[in-house]
A and B are shown apart, each in its own frame.
Chain A
Amino acid sequence: MALIEAKRLTKYFSAENGMLHAVDEVDLEIEAGRTMGVVGESGCGKSTLGRVVLRMLEPTGGEIWFDGKEITGLSKRQIHRMRTKMQMIFQDPFSSIDPRMTITQTIEEPLIIHKIVRHKEERLKKVRELMDLVGIAVRYVNAYPHELDGGRRQRVGIARALAVDPVFIVCDEPVSALDVSIQAQILNLLQDIQKERNLTYMFITHNLSVVKYISDDICVMYLGQVVEKCSTEDFFKSTLHPYSQALLSAILVPDLDAERKRIILKGELTSPINPADACRFAPRCLYADEECSECCPSLRDIGGGHFVRCHKISKTENRIERVQAGAP
C-alpha cells in the first residue's frame, strides 16, 4: 500500500483575473521507502504540490491519504501532531533557518514543540547525534547560520527535519542552491539517511540528472497537471510525452560526444489562470493538431505503471507508439 496518496488533489489561488490553477487534479502514489521525483519548470506547481501534500497549504479539492488514513479533513491540531511523521526540507538554506538562532536551537526546536524530548540534557544529546548524522562538526553547536556556508546550512535544515523522526519528507529543490561539489555531498547524505531510516521522499526538482540519481519514480508536471508518470527507468528509456522529451533533450550533458538532437520548444509557459479545456502544452508542442485544442487529454494508463497525458500517443492495444505526426 502506498504511504502517501493524492487523489484528484487540487489547489487554486485566486488571482487578479481569475483562478490560478497551481495544482490541478493530481493523482499520485508514493510507496513506503521509495522516492518520487517531481519534475517541472518554474511555475508548474511542483512546490505547491509538495506543500499541499503536507497540508502546509489547504487544498481546494481532492484527498490526501497518509499511511491508509485520510488527512484532508484533519483539524489544525491533528495536523500539528502529524508533523512528526511528515517533514520538509527547503530549497534555500539561507532563508529557511532563523538567522538569530544557534545551530543547537534550530535543531532542538522541533523536539521542544512536539514535546519529544523533555530533558534538556537528553535533548542536547539528541542534537549532537543529529549533527553527527548529517555531518556537522560538534564545534558548530553554538554557531549562528551566518557562520556556515550553504552546504552546512542545508545539513542543518536536514537535521531539523529529521529531529522528529519523520517517515515522509518532502525535499523541495534541496540542492539547487548549492555548488556541484557540495550538491553531491548532500545527495549522498539524503540517500544514506533514506536507507538507514527507511524514509519516503517526495523530491521536487527541475534538474533531471539529479532526479535520475535519486528517484525511483518520476512524475512530470506542466501547468498544474501531471503529464507523465512512470518509473525512473522507464522515463529515461522510453519517455512518451512531447514535453518530457523536450525536457530530456534540453539537459546539457557535459560530454563532448553526446548526441545533440535538441528539441527546442517554441515559446514559454502559458498562463495557468483559467486554462481552457485543451491540452495545456499544445501551444508549444511540435505534434499538436486540432484535437489537442478541443479537449484536455486525460492521464492515461498505458501499462506497466506508465501514465501519460497526450492525445497523440497511440491508443491501440498496449503497444506504445512514438508520436509520428509532424515529427521534426
Chain B
Amino acid sequence: MNNIKDNDILLDISNLVVHYEMDDEVVEAVNNISFSVRKGEAFGIIGETGAGKTTTALSIMRLLPEPRAHIIGGTIKFGEEDLTAATKKQMTKIRGRRISMIFQDPMTALNPVQRVGEQIEEVIALHNPRFSKSEIMLAGMEMLREVGIPVERYKDYPFQFSGGMKQRVVIAMALACKPDMIIADEPTTALDVTIQAQVLELIKELKAKYGTAVVLITHDFGVVSEICDRCAVMYGGEFVECGTLVDIFKNPRHPYTRGLFDSLPKLDDNARLKPIKGMMPDPTKLPRHCTFAERCDMCIDICMQKDPEETWLSDEHRVKCFRYMDSPVDKAQGRM
C-alpha cells in the first residue's frame, strides 16, 4: 500500500479502522487510513472537527476510550512492534518513553495541585528507575530550562503560569525521556498568536535538536506550513489527500483540500471567500460512495455510486477522488 520503502520508517500505519460503538449506532471515526512517519520527520494531519484526527492520535497511543472504541482493523507498526497487539504493560513502557503526547489544552493537561517540577520528575522517574532523587531533579530542571522557563519556577503550581508557559511545561514533560516521536494534538490552538509563534518556534528547535519525529494534528494550514515535511488532509475518517507540503499547498488535487484553502481569508487578496457548501456527513451515517460528494462542486454520477480508490500521483502524493485529473491546475492558491 505504502510506496515509501526507506529503512528509517519509525511509524507505519496501514489500513487502520477505528469505530466507536454507541448505544444503537456505530461512529465510523477512522476508515482505512495508511501513512508512515520517518525518523525525525514531522507529519501533519489537517482536518475539521469530527474528521477523526484525534481518534487517529489516540489509537497510536492506545488511549482510545475502550471498550466503547475499537480498533477494528489495520496495523500500527512502531519500530518492530505492532501497537494494535501490544499489551497494557508494553504500552506503558512505550508511552512517555518512546512516544509521548502533547494535548490541546494545557489547562487540563497538568495536575492543578502538584508542582510543575514534580510533574516533570514523575515522567523521568517512571522511565528511569535507576535514577537517584537528585539525578531526577537535575534532569527535571534541565528540561524546564530547555523549554525556556527559568528554573526558579520549578516549584510553582500550574495556576501560577500563563497558558503559553503551561504549554511549555507540557512540552517539557513530553520530551523529558527524549522520545522517538511526539504526537501534538492542536498544540497551539488554545494560545494567542504571539504565544503560538513562540511555542511553534520551540517545538521546531527541540525537534531539530533531538531529532524527534512529530505527528502534528491541526486544523490550521498555517501551523502545518510552519513545521511539517509532509501532511495529510483528513475528511470523514479518511485521508482524502496526502503528500509533501509542496504537493498539498501548490498542487492540491482533492476538491476538499482546495475548498479549505479557498475558505481562508488571505492577507494578499480580498476576493470574496468561497466556502465549501454544506457540512461534514454524520459519522454514524457515512455514505458508501465518496464521502465528500454531497459538498463537492465537481460531483458527477460515479461519485454518488462508488467510493473512489486512492490514486498515487507520485511516490508521496496520493488522492482519493475520481476527478483528481480535472481539478484546475490553476494556481488554486496562486502560490506557485
Interface residues of A (CB under 8 A from B): 41-42, 149-151, 179-185, 187-188, 191, 206, 208-210, 212-214, 236, 246-247, 249-258, 262, 264-265, 268-269
Please indicate the chain B residues that have their CB under 8 angstroms from the CB of A264 in the complex: 194, 197-198, 201
> In the complex the two chains form, is A236's CB within 8 Å of B162's CB?
no
> In the complex the two chains form, is A247's CB within 8 Å of B194's CB?
yes
> In the complex the two chains form, is B335's CB within 8 Å of A256's CB?
yes
How far apart are the CA atoms of A42 and B163 in the complex, in Å? 10
> In the complex the two chains form, is B224's CB within 8 Å of A250's CB?
no
- Which residue of A181, A251, A269 contacts B222 across the interface (Cβ within 8 Å)? A251
> In the complex the two chains form, is B259's CB within 8 Å of A181's CB?
yes
Q: Contacts A188-B273, A268-B164 given; indicate if A254 touches B197 (C-beta within 8 A).
A: no
Q: Contacts A181-B259, A251-B222, A252-B220 given; indicate if A213 touches B270 (C-beta within 8 A).
A: yes
Interface of A is mostly: helix
Most buried by B among A149, A181, A255, A257: A181
Interface residues of B (CB under 8 A from A): 48-49, 162, 164-165, 192-198, 200-201, 219-226, 245-246, 249-250, 259-267, 270, 272-276, 279, 333, 335
Please indicate the chain A residues that have their CB under 8 angstroms from the CB of B48 in the complex: 179-182
- Which residue of B192, B195, B267 contacts A209 across the interface (Cβ within 8 Å)? B267
Please indicate the chain B residues that have their CB under 8 angstroms from the CB of A149 in the complex: 279
> In the complex the two chains form, is A188's CB within 8 Å of B272's CB?
yes
Shortest distance from the beta carbon of A129 to any chain B beta carbon, whole Å: 22
How far apart are the CA atoms of A256 and B250 in the complex, in Å? 8
> In the complex the two chains form, is B225's CB within 8 Å of A256's CB?
yes
Please indicate the chain B residues that have their CB under 8 angstroms from the CB of A210 in the complex: 265
Q: Which residue of B lies closest to A249 (CB)?
A: B197
- Which residue of A42, A182, A191, A209 contacts B264 across the interface (Cβ within 8 Å)? A209
Shortest distance from the beta carbon of B186 to any chain A beta carbon, whole Å: 13
Please indicate the chain B residues that have their CB under 8 angstroms from the CB of A184 in the complex: 262-265, 273-276
- Which residue of B162, B201, B266 contacts A268 across the interface (Cβ within 8 Å)? B162
Interface of B is mostly: helix
Please indicate the chain B residues that have their CB under 8 angstroms from the CB of A180 in the complex: 48, 219, 260, 263-264
- Which residue of B193, B249, B263, B273 contacts A41 across the interface (Cβ within 8 Å)? B193
Please indicate the chain B residues that have their CB under 8 angstroms from the CB of A182 in the complex: 48, 275, 279
How far apart are the CA atoms of A181 and B250 in the complex, in Å? 19
Shortest distance from the beta carbon of B150 to any chain A beta carbon, whole Å: 11
Q: Contacts A181-B275, A265-B198 given; indicate if A247 touches B263 (C-beta within 8 A).
A: no
- Which residue of A179, A212, A256, A258 contacts B265 across the interface (Cβ within 8 Å)? A212
Q: Which residue of B lies closest to A252 (CB)?
A: B222
Q: Give the 9 A-B residue pairs with the shortest CB-CB distance, closest first.
A: A252-B222, A254-B221, A184-B275, A213-B265, A184-B263, A41-B192, A179-B48, A184-B273, A181-B276
Shortest distance from the beta carbon of B276 to any chain A beta carbon, whole Å: 4
How far apart are the CA atoms of A42 and B195 in the complex, in Å? 11
Please indicate the chain B residues that have their CB under 8 angstroms from the CB of A41 in the complex: 192-195
> In the complex the two chains form, is B192's CB within 8 Å of A42's CB?
yes
Q: What are 13 A-B contacts defined by CB distance under 8 Å?
A: A149-B279, A179-B49, A184-B263, A184-B265, A210-B265, A212-B267, A212-B270, A250-B196, A251-B193, A252-B222, A252-B223, A254-B224, A256-B335
Shortest distance from the beta carbon of B267 to any chain A beta carbon, whole Å: 6
How far apart are the CA atoms of A208 and B265 in the complex, in Å? 9
Q: Contacts A41-B192, A181-B48, A187-B273 given; indicate if A256 touches B165 (C-beta within 8 A).
A: no
Q: Which residue of B lies closest to A40 (CB)?
A: B192
- Which residue of B246, B270, B272, B273 contacts A256 across the interface (Cβ within 8 Å)? B246
Please indicate the chain A residues that have their CB under 8 angstroms from the CB of B263 in the complex: 180-181, 183-184
Shortest distance from the beta carbon of B224 to any chain A beta carbon, whole Å: 7
Please indicate the chain B residues that have their CB under 8 angstroms from the CB of A181 in the complex: 48, 259-260, 263, 275-276, 279
> In the complex the two chains form, is A236's CB within 8 Å of B164's CB?
no
How far apart are the CA atoms of A256 and B336 in the complex, in Å? 9
Shortest distance from the beta carbon of B156 to any chain A beta carbon, whole Å: 15
Q: Contacts A185-B275, A255-B249, A264-B198 given; indicate if A209 touches B265 (C-beta within 8 A).
A: yes
Please indicate the chain A residues that have their CB under 8 angstroms from the CB of B49 in the complex: 150, 179
> In the complex the two chains form, is B275's CB within 8 Å of A179's CB?
no
Q: Contacts A41-B192, A179-B48, A247-B194 given; indicate if A256 touches B275 (C-beta within 8 A).
A: no
Q: Which residue of B lies closest to A41 (CB)?
A: B192
> In the complex the two chains form, is B265's CB within 8 Å of A250's CB?
no
Please indicate the chain B residues that have their CB under 8 angstroms from the CB of A262 in the complex: 197, 201
Please indicate the chain A residues that have their CB under 8 angstroms from the CB of B223 in the complex: 252
Q: Which residue of B lies closest to A269 (CB)?
A: B162
How far apart are the CA atoms of A239 and B221 in the complex, in Å? 25
Q: Which residue of A lies closest to B221 (CB)?
A: A254
How far apart are the CA atoms of A7 and B291 in the complex, in Å? 54
How far apart are the CA atoms of A263 and B220 in the complex, in Å? 20
Shortest distance from the beta carbon of A321 to any chain B beta carbon, whole Å: 24
> In the complex the two chains form, is A265's CB within 8 Å of B249's CB?
no
Q: Contacts A184-B264, A188-B273 given; indicate if A268 touches B224 (C-beta within 8 A).
A: no
Q: Which residue of B lies closest to A284 (CB)?
A: B194
- Which residue of A151, A179, A256, A258 contacts B245 across the interface (Cβ within 8 Å)? A256
Please indicate the chain B residues that have their CB under 8 angstroms from the CB of A250 in the complex: 193-194, 196-197
Please indicate the chain B residues that have their CB under 8 angstroms from the CB of A247 in the complex: 193-194
How far apart are the CA atoms of A65 and B196 in the complex, in Å? 37
Please indicate the chain B residues that have their CB under 8 angstroms from the CB of A206 in the complex: 192-193
Q: Contacts A41-B193, A212-B270 given; indicate if A257 touches B265 (C-beta within 8 A).
A: no
- Which residue of A185, A249, A252, A268 contacts B225 across the interface (Cβ within 8 Å)? A252
